[in-house]
Amino acid sequence: MSPQSATDDTAASLRLARGGNATAFADLVRMNQASVYSIGYRMLGRRDAAEDLAQEVFLQLYRKLASIESLEHLGFWLRRVAANLAIDWLRRATYSATQPLDAAAEPADPRAEGDPLMTRALARLLGELAPAARAVMVLRYQEDRDVAEIAAALDMPVNTVKSHIKRSLTALRGKMIGAQLVTAEGLSEESP
């Protein structure tokens, strides 16, 4: 399926879902579940928690569907709600911020390139960041959103987003060196 026809299908599903079509809503869930579930998983570190969160996000979407204006809005809305809900849950200590990721939870990704040990370690180290910083990093590097959109989604100033990215990258680099995953020479430091 070409990207354009996939987009047209999603737009049609959105239109139908807003009209009350359950099948169309299920299509929207299927099309967006990976993004929402992954945000939950990266934030909360547990598959069961990620599924609970993703389900809650889609239930909220079902209630708020009439306010979704476009596909872009849908994507933004889902990321915003998922990230903020995850931050809320972490702060309520329902899911501890330092809770380690499920040991065997990371599914094998056939598309994965590079060092799987490094990949797993980085994902684990991300779980040690504070909730808001973690959300910024997930939206940046998993969802590939720009700084302005992250700021809007998380209701924080752009400069705060930039600070989180810079501080988090520095912290992650330090932890990777400390864990001897890389050497300091292997990670050349350039000024931003």
Instruction: Report the interface residues with other proteins, using CB under 8 A.
Output: 22, 25-26, 29-30, 33-38, 41-42, 47, 51, 54-55, 58-59, 62, 88, 91-92, 97, 106-107, 109, 111-114, 118-120, 122-123, 126, 130-132, 137-138, 141-142, 144, 155-157, 159-160, 165-166, 169-170, 172-173, 176, 186-190, 192
Shortest spacing between CB 31 and other proteins, in angstroms: 10
Nearer to other proteins, 3 or 186 (CB): 186
Residue 124's nearest CA partner among 64, 83, 181 is: 181
138: Cβ–Cβ under 8 A, 6 or more apart, which residues? 38, 39, 42, 43, 83, 126
Sequence-ordered list of residues with C-beta below 8 angstroms from that of 46, at least 6 positions apart, any chain: 95, 99, 101, 102, 105
CA 154 to chain centre: 12
DSSP conformational letter for 114: S
CB of 58 to other proteins, least distance (A): 5
* CB nearer to other proteins: pick between 11 and 158: 158
